[in-house]
Structure 1
Amino acid sequence: MVAPLFVVYVLVEVATLIWVASTIGPLWTVLLLIAGSAVGMVLVRSQWRAVMDGFRRATRGEVSPTGAVADGAMVATGSVLMFVPGLVTSVLGLLMLLPPTRWALRPLAVLLAGRRAAVTLAGAEFASRTAGPRRGPVIDGEVVDVEPDAESDVRWDGPTQEPRALP
């Protein structure tokens, strides 16, 4: 499944680069790639700080933890996309790093994460039912408590000889 997706990714990126280079020229395309990477690095750094601040505020109860986690997931995904070469991935990464577009994408991220969590939890619940502890056959019996005698009470009282010094 990964190999076909990688082939599609490469084809889309190459087609986009050819189209952009034929539209604005090869030099401007290279400059666009460099500028996108520079802007992406600045955004990654600043947005990670904002995400960490959001996590701190969520732990203090000032904001919703759902929004903070969704922002963290989108900034992480956007950061990875910024470091994957290509125009399409850079644009997608920038969309996930910019606060206004991230705010607009947040409901979609929460919805997708909720679906994934429901599937994961449903699978875990199913697995716990089928993979629970196994019990053997039930044997009817009677428990008899016996008090041991003082003489027959064999307990380990420790070593019988003193420890020896090692050379």
Structure 2
Amino acid sequence: MLALFVLYVVVEVAALVAVGSALGVLWTVVLLIGGSLIGSLLVRSQGRRVLDGLRRASRGERSAGGAVADGALFAAGSVAMFVPGLVTTVIGLLLLIPPTRWLLRPAVVWGAARWLPQVATATQRMRPTVIDGEIVVDRAAPADSASSAAGSTPVLEGQVIEVDRADRPAGDFRKPHR
């Protein structure tokens, strides 16, 4: 992480020196301020556009993958706009304008399709075991403190449909499900 930060500082300083020597210090400052102002306007206008695209995707009027990819590219561009420096400002501006997002959208969708199955596999272990069943009142069992008013004990009857946990084989009812 430290190496990445050092690389960022070196690239930004080199860009400022190169632009400053080519255009002059005053024009470099004007370029930085102008880029920030344009970026602020783009964040506002394109943010509305991206949110509208996400709303349309939720209604089924647009592909969800494209809307989410636009949102991710917009978010990356917005963050880049607030990181100080000439190179990050240029990257942020490029990610905020629609033609660049249209060009990068397929790459983002492709990358997400490759990455998300790994995330889904990793999080699948965190899902609880679902048992389809119903509560049946057992009138013959002695009453406990929770159901003493009714005079009966609730009993869960059901069948395990699918167990996806590696620590317990399917049909093993001896371990409590708590």
TM bracket, shorter-chain basis:
0.7 to 0.9
Letter in 1 for 2:5: F
Larger radius of gyration: 1
2:95 maps to: 96
Q: Which runs of 4+ in 1 moved over 6 A?
A: none
Q: Alignment RMSD, CA only?
A: 2.6
1:77 maps to: 76
Output the CA distance in 2 between the equivalents of 1:76 and 1:123.
Answer: 25
> Unpaired runs of 5+ in structure 1?
134-146, 159-167
Please state whether the residue corresponding to 1:63 is helix, strand or coil. Answer: coil
Count of residues paired in the alignment: 139
Output the CA distance in 2 between the equivalents of 1:87 and 1:95.
Answer: 12
1:45 maps to: 44
Output the CA distance in 1 between the equivalents of 2:117 and 2:143.
Answer: 56
Letter in 2 for 1:85: P
Output the CA distance in 1 between the equivalents of 2:48 and 2:117.
Answer: 30
Task: Give a deviation string over 1:27-57, Cα, whole Å, max 9, x none.
Answer: 1000000000000000000000001110111
Output the CA distance in 2 between the equivalents of 1:118 and 1:95.
Answer: 29
Task: Give a deviation string over 1:85-110, Cα, whole Å, max 9, x none.
Answer: 01111111111100011101111111
Change (3 A) 1:65 1:24: same
2:7 maps to: 8
Say whether residues 1:19 and 2:18 are aligned partners.
Answer: yes
Letter in 2 for 1:100: P
1:142 maps to: none
Please state whether the residue corresponding to 1:94 is helix, strand or coil. Answer: helix
Report the CA distance between 1:115 and its aligned residue: 2.1
2:120 maps to: 121
Higher relative contact order (CA 8 A, sep 6+): 1
The sequence identity of aligned pairs, in percent, is 54
The structure in which a higher percent of residues are helix is 1
TM-score normalised by length of structure 2: 0.70
Report the CA distance between 1:61 and its aligned residue: 1.2
